[in-house]
């Protein structure tokens, strides 16, 4: 079962919660963007820009139930809306968890947000590195318990 499955929390309330949490932990700016394919939140902390993308569900994925039964066409938009609300709740949870980990000394800002830091190219670090990671051969990365110097 996915986090916040069946939530009735409106998207706007999740966005407002994310904004409040970011402000409480020192974010200087906040914005969000939405389209049919994705949404994103962006904020700035100590001059560093952060952007997290949230992919929107494909309506075609909701034509059938989990058991393979066809849904009525009128039910598909309701299921999509439900999934969008769930994803926004999950994003709020992730943002809170990352900020709490930083505040509690469990992790640093960079530990939690590195993949989402926006570079001078306008891409995030994760967007820039993903193609290189996809090319890495299995086993090419050495796992070590020692902290790199």
Please give the sequence-ordered ranges of beta strands (E in DSSP) within the chain, or none if there are none: 29-34, 38-45, 48-55
Given the DSSP bridges, would you call strands 29-34 and 48-55 parallel, antiparallel or unpaired?
unpaired
Q: Which residue has 């306008």 as its token pair?
A: 122
> What six digits make up the tokens of 114?
């590195």
Interval 88-130: pLDDT, tens: 999 999 999 999 999 999 999 999 999 999 999 999 999 999 9
pLDDT-derived band of residue 137, with 50, 70 and 90 as boundaries? Answer: low
């Amino acid at each position: 079962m996915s986090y916040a499955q069946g939530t009735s929390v409106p998207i706007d309330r999740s966005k407002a919660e994310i904004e409040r949490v970011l402000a409480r932990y020192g974010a200087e700016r906040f914005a969000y963007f939405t389209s049919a394919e994705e949404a994103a939140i962006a904020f700035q902390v100590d001059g560093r820009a952060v952007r997290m993308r949230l992919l929107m569900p494909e309506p075609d994925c909701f034509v059938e139930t989990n058991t393979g039964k066809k849904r009525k066409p009128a039910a598909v938009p309701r299921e999509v809306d439900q999934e969008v609300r769930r994803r926004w709740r999950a994003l709020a949870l992730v943002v809170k968890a990352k900020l709490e980990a930083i505040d509690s000394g469990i992790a640093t800002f960079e530990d939690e947000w590195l993949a989402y830091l926006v570079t001078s190219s306008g891409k995030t670090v994760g967007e820039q590195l993903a193609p290189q990671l996809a090319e890495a051969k299995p086993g090419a990365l050495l796992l070590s318990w020692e902290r790199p110097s």
